[in-house]
């Protein structure tokens, strides 16, 4: 039973469009993350948050932005989508202080920009 | 920069065989390691973890071995089943830092009936 939800699961969108990928978790976790993943490749951290009103950029440079107005919600926005943004985007959350055991992933949003 | 990597991109085994998936890490300060399983169309799922003060940890049909001398991690799956077919990732974390894991490239495990 998934406790972290991502919508949409699949999205095909034209170049230049603005899109928001939704992520919500029901576990009350403080930390939330966005990863970008190409098929079979490692996960690249693009944004994370330690809690409400906290957002940080990750290791991978990204043209996306995030917000954390509520604990349970961590949306990712692309102001102007480009074909280079085509990828899978994974959202995750974890309990504070947990190295990984409390790390829960959503099922991902597969984005295609045409 | 520091990285976590996997030796083999694809591993094919017969159902019932034991599988061994390897991982090399390069940050000697990492002290917590996790294996994840990612099935097609899903997000990664926690399998087993190990702290650097341990050499071996066993779960249900899975064992993780840690060799800190050569910075090597392995995941052993006993009696591999078709349901084990997935991409497996190792990740390392340094508890003195941000606690955010660094993931390596996945290994695709294919189990033939």
- Whether the Cβ atoms of residue B56 and residue B64 lie closer than 8 Å to each other: yes
For residue B83, give the 3-state DSSP assignment.
Answer: helix
Place of tokens 């699949």: A10
- The DSSP letter of residue B101 is P
Contacts 24+ apart (CB under 8 A), A55-63: A58/A33, A58/A34, A58/B100, A60/A36, A62/A36
- Joined tokens for residue A43: 């996960």
- Closest Cα in chain B, distance from residue A64 (Å): 20
Which pLDDT tens digit goes with each residue over B56-85? 999 999 999 999 999 999 999 999 999 999
**pLDDT grade for B3, boundaries at 50, 70 and 90:** very low
- Whether the pLDDT of residue A98 is over 60: the answer is no
Comparing CA positions, the residue from A69, A63, A64 lying closest to residue A49 is: A69
| Higher local confidence (pLDDT), A41 or A114 | A114
**pLDDT grade for B106, boundaries at 50, 70 and 90:** confident
| Mean per-residue pLDDT, B43-60 | 93
Which pLDDT tens digit goes with each residue over A24-71? 999 999 899 999 998 777 889 999 999 999 999 998 877 899 999 999
| Mean per-residue pLDDT, B51-55 | 94
pLDDT at B1: 33
For residue B82, give the 3-state DSSP assignment.
Answer: helix
For residue A85, give the 3-state DSSP assignment.
Answer: helix
Which of A100, A105, A106, A110 best tests the B interface by mutation, with the highest count of B CBs <10 A?
A: A100
CA distance A56 to B42: 25
Kindly determine whether residue A105 and residue B45, on different chains, have CB atoms separated by under 8 Å: yes
- Closest Cα in chain B, distance from residue A26 (Å): 17
Nearest residue of A to residue B44, measured between CA atoms: A105
Contacts of A31 in chain B (CB under 8 A): 99
B9 contacts chain A (CB < 8 A): yes
- Joined tokens for residue B8: 């083999």
A106 contacts chain B (CB < 8 A): yes
- Whether the Cβ atoms of residue B24 and residue B69 lie closer than 8 Å to each other: no
- Closest Cα in chain A, distance from residue B94 (Å): 8
**pLDDT grade for B6, boundaries at 50, 70 and 90:** very low
């Amino acid at each position: 039973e998934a406790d972290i939800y991502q919508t949409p699961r699949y999205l095909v969108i034209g170049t230049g469009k603005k899109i928001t990928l939704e992520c919500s978790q029901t576990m009350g976790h403080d930390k939330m993350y966005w990863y970008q993943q190409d098929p079979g490749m490692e996960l690249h951290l693009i944004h994370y948050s330690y809690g409400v009103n906290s957002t940080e950029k990750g290791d991978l440079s990204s043209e996306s932005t995030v917000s954390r107005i509520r604990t349970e919600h961590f949306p990712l926005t692309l102001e102007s989508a480009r074909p280079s943004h085509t990828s899978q985007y994974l959202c995750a959350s974890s309990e504070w202080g947990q190295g990984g055991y409390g790390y829960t992933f959503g099922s991902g949003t597969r984005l295609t920009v045409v | 920069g520091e990285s976590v990597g996997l030796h083999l991109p694809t591993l094919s085994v017969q159902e019932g065989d034991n599988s061994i998936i390897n991982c090399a890490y390069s940050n000697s300060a990492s002290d917590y390691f996790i294996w994840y399983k990612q099935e097609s169309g899903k997000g990664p799922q926690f399998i087993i973890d190990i702290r650097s003060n341990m050499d071996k940890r066993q779960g249900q049909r899975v064992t993780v071995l840690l060799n800190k001398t050569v910075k090597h991690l392995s995941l052993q799956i006993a009696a591999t089943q078709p349901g084990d077919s997935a991409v497996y990732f190792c990740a390392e974390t340094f508890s003195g830092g941000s606690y955010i894991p660094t993931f390596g490239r996945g290994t695709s495990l294919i189990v033939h009936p």
